[in-house]
Structure formats: C-alpha cells, structure tokens
Structure 1
Amino acid sequence: MKKVPFWPTVIVGLAIAVMIGLGIWQVQRMTWKEALLAEYAGAANRPAITWPAVPDPDALPLYRTSSVNCLEVTGWRSSSGRSARGQAGWVHIASCRTGAEGPGAQVVAGWSVRPDNPDWAGGMASGIIAPDSVHLIRLIAAPPVAGLDAVQPPSPEDIPNNHWAYAVQWFLFAGIAAVIYAMAVARRARTRPD
C-alpha cells in the first residue's frame, strides 16, 4: 500500500475543516437572521418609540413607528427610489437638526419625479424607522411632507436571508475539495513506482 502524503493531507484536511466550520457558522447566522426578521415583522404592531438620539448599531429599532422634531433642515440628499404606487423616481432625505448637540436625524420627506430639493424647512414628522446605509436609521415620513408623494414603505421582506445558500456553498466546497484530493492521491498512487 502506498503512503498518503502527510503534509498535503494535513493542509487539505485543515482547509476542509475550515470550510465545514464556515458552513456551520452560516447555518447559525440563518437562525439568528430568522429571529431578527420575525422581530422586525412584529415591530409594526408595537407601540411607537422615542426617536433614538444615538442609535445602537447592535439593536436598531427598525420598522418601529416614531416621530422626530426637525428643528432645521441642514441638508438634502436625493436617491433613486419608488413611490407607494411603485413608480420610479426620487426619494428626498432631509438631514435634520434635532437639538443643540448630537447627530440629528435623517427624514425621508417623500417621493417625486424630479431630484430637486423640496421646499420643507422642518417640523414634526412621524413615520416608520427604516435602515439607512449612511446613518444606520432614518424616518420614513408617513404622511409625506412638503407636498411630496408617499415613498414605498420599508419592509423586513426586503432584507435578504441567504445564509442557507452560503452554508450549502461552503459544504459543497468542502466536499469537492475532499473528492479532488482523494482523486489526486489515488492517481499519485497508481503512477508512482513502488
């Protein structure tokens, strides 16, 4: 019987173990994400909360209702988005000063067909807390302000939960690596002289 190469076997074995570990980690992440999405799905039925002055990145109150007193609009940004009727256009996000200090708040004032800044200087805005890629959270005003149309409401269903696909991918990589290595060792054994 031919000898199996020691160091290559150790290296491939460790690589396979890491891939299996990553697959198991993705399954654990899937369970965590399912619980988080269930919490978000039930958020609409919970009482309104006070706008968090400094949001905790590990416990964002997404999809909860809240309100913000925008004392002053300090800037605008517009991004492509959809109206509540599904029309493509522009979502207008106001950077608001909410007090003397602190990060303030981002308020989605509404939707329009043009990217021009709306004529809104601030005031009370109520709505739903949604994710924001720049500031963690933003308030989707409902009803919209400044004569704008309503934006497509945020939904937890928009958050991907593809951890199962990643887990399967890692398990397949581990299986393929094991098969390829076994074939290479078998071929080496056939071609190597005694």
Structure 2
Amino acid sequence: MRYLFPAILGICGIAILVSLGTWQLRRLAWKEAMLAEIDARITAAPVAVPATPDPKADRYLPVEAEGDLGGEGLMVLASIKQVGAIHRFITTLTTPAGRVLLVDLGYRRIVSADASVPEGAVRLTGNLHWPEEIDSYTPTPDGTLWFARDVPAMAEALGAEPVLIVAREVTPGSSITPLPVSSAGIPNDHLEYALTWFGLALVWLGMTLFLMWRIKRRTV
C-alpha cells in the first residue's frame, strides 16, 4: 500500500503530460497543413485586383496591376533577420480605371540615405494583405514614419482604398527591394511544445521512480 499513492500520482502526471504532448503533435499537423495551403495560395497565378476585396476571403490573393506610383509615401520601421533595421515603403498606385490602391514596394536598410519613393508607370505582381501588426504598444505615427502597417489608417492618410498590395515583382525595378508575403512569419512552435511536454513526462517518471526507491529504502 505504501507504493499506491506515488504510483497513482506518477501515472496521472505522466498521462496528463503525454496527452498534452500528443495534442501539440496534432496541432503541428494542423498548422503544417494550414501553412501549405497559405503557401499554395501565395504562389498561385495572379489575377486582377477584385472590385471589392474582402480582408478575410482575399487575404494573400495573388494579383497583378499596373498604373502610376504616387511618388508620395510612408515609411514603416521594421526589421529582418540577417539584414537588421529597415524601412518599408508604402505608396499609392493609380490604375487606368482611376482606382487608388496602396502598395508595399519593399524595403531599404535604414543605413541608406535614400528616402525617395519611385514615381511613374509600373507593372507589378504581388499579394493582397491586411497585416495584423497593431497592438496597444504600437506608437502613433511620427509624420511619414510609421511603426506598423495599419491599412485603414494608411489608406486615409494617402487618400487610397484600404487595399494593400505587397509587391513581389515591380517593373521597372528600383533601389527598393521587394519583401513579398510569405508564411515564414507565421509562428509554428508546436513541435518544440510537444518535445517539452514529453520531456516533462520523462522527468515526472524519473521523479516517481526515485520517490518509490526512497520509500523502499526507508522501509528496509
């Protein structure tokens, strides 16, 4: 009987930890399927920009458009791994039909002294996107310098529709490097979580065996 409580405690703890690890593996499979679907959507054949894009249904939709860049824009402070601090350049694209759309042309490193935005006729392909980058800690814009891509607010500031095309290719090119939409920024830590839970289950098993060994020594 002296081993009953430690055994029950050990079995229950291990069962809970293993079930949490197994749940994270199921979440991993779901997340990988979702990311594969997003990647397939991002790289699909581009279409014309819909007349009334839906932020949910048309997120990541590949599009192509042509028109005149506004020459006036906003800079968004951001960073890229292995590159460092950057400025994203957001400007407008006026299409032949008279629509004024937002375009994320890409980035320059902050060390660059060139803050100009390209002007003139261009043809571009990219993806529609409504980034969710705003939280309670995001500073308010400082003139033309912004700290997140707030599509509705940027559209109001530049007199455009709240529709953002994140450029993949722009012809003719410029000194601004495109920073296309990708699934790389979507967190997928479920494997690490699963290994953590399984590791804790092993620790719990070791602690249970150690406790039972101590009980045995005391009763010898």
TM-score range normalised by the length of the shorter chain: 0.5 to 0.7
Give per-residue Cα distances to partners, 1:146-194, cap 9 Å, x unaligned: 944222434335655442332222112112202211211221232147x
Does the alignment pair 1:66 with 2:63? yes
Q: Does the 8 Å CA contact 1:81/1:88 hold for their aligned counterparts?
A: yes
d(CA) in 1 for partners of 2:126, 2:173: 15
Write the letter of the residue equivalent to 1:181.
T
Does the alignment pair 1:20 with 2:18? yes
Distance 1:67 1:47, change over 3 A: closer
d(CA) in 2 for partners of 1:175, 1:167: 13
1:166-177 equivalent positions in 2, closer than 5 A = 166-177=193-204
1:88-103 equivalent positions in 2, closer than 5 A = 90-94=86-90
Q: CA deviation at 1:132?
A: 3.5
What does residue 77 of structure 1 align with?
76
d(CA) in 2 for partners of 1:189, 1:120: 79
Q: CA deviation at 1:25?
A: 1.4
Aligned CA RMSD, in angstroms, stands at 4.5
Unaligned stretches of 5+ residues in structure 2: 95-100, 134-148, 152-163
d(CA) in 2 for partners of 1:188, 1:49: 74
What does residue 5 of structure 1 align with?
5
Unaligned stretches of 5+ residues in structure 1: 99-104
Identical aligned residues as a percent: 22
1:23-172 equivalent positions in 2, closer than 5 A = 23-43=21-41, 44-48=43-47, 50=49, 55-56=55-56, 61-62=59-60, 64-66=61-63, 75-81=74-80, 90-94=86-90, 107-113=103-109, 114=112, 117-119=115-117, 126-129=125-128, 132-134=131-133, 139-141=165-167, 142-143=169-170, 147-156=174-183, 159=186, 161-172=188-199
Write the letter of the residue equivalent to 1:139.
I
Distance 1:73 1:28, change over 3 A: farther
Aligned pair count reads 180
Q: Does the 8 Å CA contact 2:105/2:166 hold for their aligned counterparts?
A: yes
d(CA) in 2 for partners of 1:53, 1:123: 23
Q: Does the 8 Å CA contact 2:107/2:178 hold for their aligned counterparts?
A: yes
Write the letter of the residue equivalent to 1:45.
A
d(CA) in 2 for partners of 1:54, 1:75: 24
d(CA) in 2 for partners of 1:4, 1:67: 69
